[in-house]
Amino acid sequence: MVKWPPVNPLDEDALLKAFRSGRWGRVPGGVVEEFEGEFAKYHEAKYAVAVTSGTAGLLLSYLALGLNEGDQFALPAYTFIATATAGVMLRAVPVFIDIDPETLNMSADSLKATLEEDKDNRIKLVVPVHFSGIPAELNEIINASRRHGAKVVEDAAQAHGAVYRGRRVGAIGDAGVFSFQSSKNMTAGEGGIVLTNDYEVYVKVWSYHHAGRDINGEWYVHRLIGWNFRMTELQAAILLSQLKRYDEEFRVRERNAKLLYELMEGVEDYRPVKPPAHTSSSNHLLPIWISERLISRHGKARVVEEVRRRGGEVVEGYPMPLYRQPAFKDSYWRLPDYSRLSLPVTEDACRRVIWIPQHVLLSEEETRRTAEALIKTAKELS
C-alpha cells in the first residue's frame, strides 16, 4: 500500500531549512511568497494568496467577489460541504445544481435552466467544482454566468494541475481555490491557496486573510474586517518542494488511471468516470459507477467492503446529496427547506459511485490489485 502523505527526503530538507531559519510565520517570512509566485506561475495566474485551508480560500474569494447577505450562489449538489458553508457563513443562500453523469461535475444545462428561472437576479455567484480533478465545463458555465451578471469561483480543491482546453484550471474564472489538506495530491497537512487574474480581487483576498491590513499600508492600520488566515513558512516549504516534482507525479497518476480503464474494459458492473478528451484530470480520485444490478442486490457499502477484503483500496464517497446534510436544517442560518429538493443524477451518484484515492494511482502494482479486487467482487456478487 502506498503511504500518504509521503515522507520525501527533499521535502524533509526543505522543511528543516525553513525550521532552522527561525522564521516560521508569514511575517516576516519569505517562503510563503515564493510558493505563491511559483504556484501562480504553474497555473498561469497573475496573483496568489496562500491561506490556512481550502475552506478559508472559498470564504475569502466569495467575500472579495461581493457575495452578500441574502444573495444566492449556485453550486453542484455533489461536492464537499465547504463549497456551500463558505457562502452560508456570509449569510448567502446555496442553490444546488444537478450534475453531469459523465463527469460528476455541475451540469451546464441544469445551471442554465436555473439561471433562466432566476428572474430577480438573486444568484450573484456560480461555483463549478472540478470534482475528482476532472475540470468542469468552464466555457459554458462561465458564459452562462456572465450573461446573468454572476461571478465565477472555481473550486479546484482536488484539481492541482488539471487542464481544461489547454489551460490549467484555477484562474479561468474570476478566482480559483485549491486545498492542501492531507488527502490532496499536494499537501502540507492543511492549507489552501486562492488564484486570480484580477488585481482588485487579489488585494481584497490578501487584506481579508491578513487581519484587514492594506497590502501597501501601515502595519497597524486595518482597512477591512479580516481574519488571520495566513499560511506558515513551514507549510509553504513543504509545498514548494512538492511542486517541483508535481508534473512527474501527475503523469504517473494519469498513466495508471489509463491502465485501470483498460483493465476494467468490458466489466459490465462498473463504469469508470473518464475525463473528456479536451481535459486532463489531476486524478485526485478515480470515481466508478456501480451497476444498478449490484447496488439493488447488495448496496454500495457491501460492494466496498468486499473490494477491500480482496485487497483493493476504494471508499464509499458521499453518502447523500449535499442538500440533505443535517447542517442545513440548523435554524440559525435561516436557509430554505431543502427537504423536497431531489436532483436525480446527484441522488443516483450517492447511491452508486465509489472512489479510488489518488495515492493508489502512484503505484502500478496497487492499481492492478485494486482493479483485480473490483473484478473479483463483481463476479462473486453476481
User: What is the model's pLDDT at position 2?
Assistant: 81
- Indicate the residue among 244, 267, 302 that finishes a domain: 244
Decide: helix, strand or coil at residue 290: strand
Question: Is the domain of 235 the same as that of 287?
Answer: no
Section 41-67 average pLDDT = 99
pLDDT at residue 169 in the model: 99
* Cα 84 to the center of its chain, rounded Å: 12
Confidence (pLDDT) at 29: 77
At 195 the three-state DSSP class reads strand
Strand ranges in 248-352 using DSSP code E only, listed in sequence order:
270-272, 279-280, 285-290
pLDDT at 28: 79
Among residues 179, 210, 244, the one where a domain terminates is 244
Pair 263, 340 in one domain: yes
Q: What are phi and psi of 255, to 5 degrees?
A: -65, -45
Give the span between the Cα atoms of 343 and 97, in whole angstroms.
8
Per-residue pLDDT, averaged over 347-376, amounts to 99
Question: What pLDDT sits at residue 139?
Answer: 99
* 291, 356: one domain: yes
In a shared domain, residues 175 and 99:
yes
pLDDT at 222: 97
* Count of domains observed in the chain: 2
Residue 292 pLDDT? 98
Residue 1 lies in a domain: no
Residues 370 and 277 in one domain: yes
What is the C-alpha to C-alpha distance for residues 24 and 35, in angstroms, rounded to an integer?
14
Mean pLDDT of the chain: 98
Q: Is residue 3 part of a domain?
A: no
Q: Could you tell me if residue 366 is inside a domain? A: yes
β-sheet bridge partners, residue 355: 287, 315
Assess whether pLDDT exceeds 80 at residue 138: yes
Q: Does residue 317 lie in a domain region? A: yes
- Answer whether residue 366 shows pLDDT above 90: yes
Q: How many CB atoms lie within 10 A of CB 253?
A: 23
Are 294 and 189 in a shared domain?
Answer: no
What per-residue confidence (pLDDT) applies to 40? 99
CATH of the domain at 69: 3.40.640.10
267 in any annotated domain: yes
Are both 216 and 287 inside the same structural domain?
no
pLDDT digits (tens, 9 = 90+) for 173-202: 999 999 999 999 999 999 999 999 999 999
294-315 confidence digits (pLDDT tens): 999 999 999 999 999 999 999 9
Say whether both 230 and 253 belong to one domain: no
CATH of the domain at 250: 3.90.1150.10
pLDDT at 80 over 80: yes
Of 308, 318, 328, 255, give the one whose Cα is nearest residue 287.
Answer: 318
Distances (CA, A) of 382 to 112, 190, 293, 301, 311: 40, 41, 8, 16, 19
* Closest residue by Cα to residue 196 from 147, 153, 243, 134: 153
Residues 252 and 377 in one domain: yes
* One domain, residues 254 and 167: no
Residues 300 and 375 in one domain: yes
Alpha carbon distances (Å) from 98 to 59, 109, 156, 359: 22, 9, 18, 28
Q: What is the mean pLDDT of residues 191-218?
A: 98
Question: What is the percent of the chain where pLDDT is above 70?
Answer: 100
pLDDT for 382: 85
Q: Is residue 2 part of a domain?
A: no
Q: What is the pTM of this model?
A: 0.98
Residue where a domain stops, chosen among 189, 212, 244: 244
Residues 6 or more apart in contact with residue 112 via CB below 8 angstroms: 140, 144
Interior angle at CA 93, CA 89 and CA 96, nearest 5: 115
4 within some domain:
no
Residue 174 cell numbers, joined: 474570476
Same domain, 84 and 164: yes
- Residue 43 is part of which domain span? 9-244
Q: Is residue 13 part of a domain?
A: yes
In the block, residue with C-alpha cell 486570480: 196
